[in-house]
Amino acid sequence: MRLPAPRGPVTALFFEHLTCRPHAFDPSSVCSGEPAVEDEDLQLALFVCYELHYRGFDEVDDGWEWNPSLLEARQVLERRFEDGLAEAVPRPVPTPSVPMRRVLAELVAAAGDDPSLAAFLERKADLGQFREFVVHRSIYHLKEADPHTWAIPRLHGGAKAALVEIQADEYGGGRLERMHSELFRATMRKLDLDDSYGAYLGRIPAITLAVGNVMSLFGLHRRRRGALLGHLAAFEMTSSLPNLRYGHGLRRLGGDATACRFYDEHVRADAVHEQVAAHDMCGGFAAAHPDLAGDVLYGAACALALDRLFTGHVLDRWTRGATSLREADLAVGSR
Ligand SMILES: [Fe+2]
Ligand SMILES: [Fe+2]
């Protein structure tokens, strides 16, 4: 993956440093600012910092991953993101007398699906809009499951076994052609999209980056492990029916079995995953760590709130006849 064009002073500063050999720099030059979930400069800067822990960038030395100056600057950005989340997402109050799976189900039900992006894609979207949706999702689906995998070494007992059960499915049980990220690549190719990792990063707006960044934020900080599990549970609990609709929508637009397989697979798999995630994983974790039950619910609430903001962004743009992606920029390596 290549660095895209900078989107403001922070990404400009980061990219200037990151394209040199790792060195110390003054992290205070990344000033703190307003709490932010939809700030383009902030979300891209965080995405780039986090990506150094996944597959990196062609022009960035791997030695930057644990560079103290960069980590210190990242912390400033993370605080703004966490403050923005705290403002946007009310913290649910845990109710120890009610089973965790039921509290999670109530959270999901309260979030509702209105306005529903899945219903729009099923019945109304044109092919260009469906392709846009796939481009947005590619930022996560091409590394599907990786952010939640960070939690495995931080768990034990039943919660760990449940997470491994889910992740094993996400990674296709060790079979390349069944890995969900590979199924998604096939969908992209069928839609004449570039399936290489991060190919569309330059076109991805802040809210879509935030949807991915929150997983990395929760995944890379052990103190956030409860929130990471709640986030995964909310993902799984809101997946099966929307994926059925995405599959219907893509078939309506001429998608064949290969194009739709990613969505079909999630209708089946996530009907099971949601039970394992809510009951065995989050329920088991909250029983073992009652003090972190509120974090589990907060992680779920963050996933639901960011998805709602993402849906609002996309439908708002489409309703106005505009693209939901950023206009292509002209920087080297961007699309
Ligand atoms: Fe999946
Ligand atoms: Fe799943």
Specify whether the CB–CB gap between 250 and 182 falls below 8 A.
no
Which ligand ends up closest to the CA of 239?
2
Q: What is the mean pLDDT of the chain?
A: 95
Q: What is the mean pLDDT of residues 93-97?
A: 88
Cα(302) to ligand 2 centroid in Å equals 18
Got the DSSP string for 37-96? SS-HHHHHHHHHHHHTTTT--TTS-GGGTT-HHHHHHHHHHHHHHHHHHHHHS--PPP-T
Reported as a pLDDT band with limits 50, 70 and 90, residue 32 is confident
Which ligand ends up closest to the CA of 180?
1
242, two tokens: 């929307």
Strand boundaries in the chain, DSSP class E: none
pLDDT of the residue at 334:
39
pLDDT of the residue at 113:
62
Q: What is the mean pLDDT of residues 43-66?
A: 98
**Each residue's pLDDT tens digit, 129-144:** 999 999 999 999 999 9
For ligand 1, a single-atom ion, which residues have Cβ within 5 Å? Answer: 170, 180
Which range is least confidently modeled, 11-15, 111-115, 246-250, 293-297?
A: 111-115
pLDDT of the residue at 285:
97
Reported as a pLDDT band with limits 50, 70 and 90, residue 11 is very high
Q: What is the mean pLDDT of residues 327-335?
A: 52
Which ligand ends up closest to the CA of 273?
2
Q: Which residues, 6 or more positions from 247, have their beta carbon under 8 angstroms from its beta carbon?
A: 260, 263, 264, 267
Cα(201) to ligand 2 centroid in Å equals 24
Q: Give pairs for 219-223: CB < 8 Å, separation 24+.
A: 219/147, 219/148, 219/149, 219/150, 219/151, 220/50, 220/53, 220/150, 222/154
Cα(303) to ligand 2 centroid in Å equals 14
Nearest Cα neighbor of 121 from 181, 167, 187 is 187
With vertex at residue 57, the alpha carbon angle to CA 142 and CA 28, rounded to the nearest 5 degrees, is 115
Q: How many CB atoms lie under 10 A from the CB of residue 40?
A: 18
d(CA 47, CA 18): 14
Which ligand ends up closest to the CA of 181?
1
pLDDT of the residue at 333:
40
Cα(145) to ligand 1 centroid in Å equals 7
Cα(192) to ligand 1 centroid in Å equals 22
Cα(279) to ligand 1 centroid in Å equals 18
Nearest Cα neighbor of 263 from 277, 278, 249 is 249
Specify whether the CB–CB gap between 210 and 37 falls below 8 A.
yes
**Each residue's pLDDT tens digit, 259-310:** 999 999 999 999 999 999 999 999 999 999 999 999 999 999 999 999 999 9
pLDDT higher than 50, residue 330: no
Q: What is the mean pLDDT of residues 117-129?
A: 97
pLDDT of the residue at 329:
60
Cα(127) to ligand 2 centroid in Å equals 26
Which ligand ends up closest to the CA of 166?
2
Q: What is the mean pLDDT of residues 201-205?
A: 97
Helix 240-252 vs helix 257-275: crossing angle, to nearest 10: 170
Radius of gyration of the chain (CA): 19
Cα(136) to ligand 2 centroid in Å equals 18
For a pLDDT cut of 70, what percent of the chain falls above it? Answer: 97
Which range is least confidently modeled, 68-72, 92-96, 189-193, 302-306?
A: 92-96
Cα(166) to ligand 2 centroid in Å equals 6
pLDDT of the residue at 328:
74
Cα(11) to ligand 1 centroid in Å equals 31
Helix 293-319 vs helix 206-220: crossing angle, to nearest 10: 170
Rounded to two decimals, the pTM is 0.95
Which ligand ends up closest to the CA of 172?
1
